[in-house]
């Protein structure tokens, strides 16, 4: 894992062999690994870059062993987001040309829903905007998780806040991260 991996998130790949899965808890000190999972839509990638630089400064043996990947969303959230993203568009179409759409699909006109939507246009538009914001909310979890040798060190999803650099260093030290000179590799 090259140093550039810490600079830009990349797609997470599956383990290439069963040996990697079995060894996940057995890292010698010179093979320490830091994994940062961050939300795909996050604007805080610069925060991750700064943390990577600080970690590499304090722990030179981590140079090239810090990886940043995108946090994968549960599939149901992706599908629900797609649905909530389409519904406002369909609502606008129905509001603007509902009677024509009903004629096109050979449904009888005079639906109470169409009349109610047109009588309350402002409420209808606000509701459609609300559905659009739900769609965006579902795919933006603001995830920021840090793993040290596959063990969770910090999770913004659990804590509800960002960690400071000092806090991260203390958490990693508590998990067993030790300073090793690059020469002793």
Q: State the pTM of this model.
A: 0.55
Distance CA 94, CA 114 (A): 7
Contact 30, 185 (CB under 8 A): yes
Q: Is 178 exposed, middle or buried (0-12, 13-18, 19+ CB in 10 A)?
A: exposed
CATH class of 3-73+141-184: alpha beta
Question: pLDDT at position 13, please?
Answer: 41
Reduce the DSSP state of residue 72 to 3 states and report it.
coil
pLDDT at 159 over 70: yes
What are the residue ranges of CATH 3.40.30.10 in the chain?
A: 3-73+141-184
Question: pLDDT at position 73, please?
Answer: 77
Reduce the DSSP state of residue 151 to 3 states and report it.
strand
Q: What is the mean pLDDT of residues 129-151?
A: 82
Q: What is the mean pLDDT of residues 48-61?
A: 84
Question: pLDDT at position 20, please?
Answer: 43
């Amino acid at each position: 894992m090259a140093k550039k991996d810490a600079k830009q998130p990349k797609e997470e790949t599956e383990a290439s062999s069963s040996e990697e899965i079995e060894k996940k808890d057995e890292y010698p000190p010179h093979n320490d690994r830091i994994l940062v999972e961050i939300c795909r839509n996050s604007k805080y990638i610069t925060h991750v870059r700064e943390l990577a630089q600080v970690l590499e400064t304090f722990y030179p043996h981590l140079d090239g062993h810090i990886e940043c990947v995108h946090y994968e969303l549960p599939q149901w959230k992706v599908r629900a987001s797609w649905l909530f993203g389409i519904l406002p568009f369909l609502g606008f179409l129905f509001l603007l040309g509902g009677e024509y759409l009903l004629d096109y699909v050979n449904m009888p006109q005079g639906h109470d829903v169409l009349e109610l939507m047109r009588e309350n246009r402002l409420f209808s538009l606000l509701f459609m905007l609300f559905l659009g914001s739900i769609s965006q909310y579902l795919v933006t979890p603001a995830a920021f998780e840090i793993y040290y040798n596959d063990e969770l060190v910090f999770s913004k999803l659990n804590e509800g806040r960002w960690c400071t650099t000092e806090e991260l260093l203390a958490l990693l030290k508590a998990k067993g991260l030790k300073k090793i000179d690059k020469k002793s590799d």
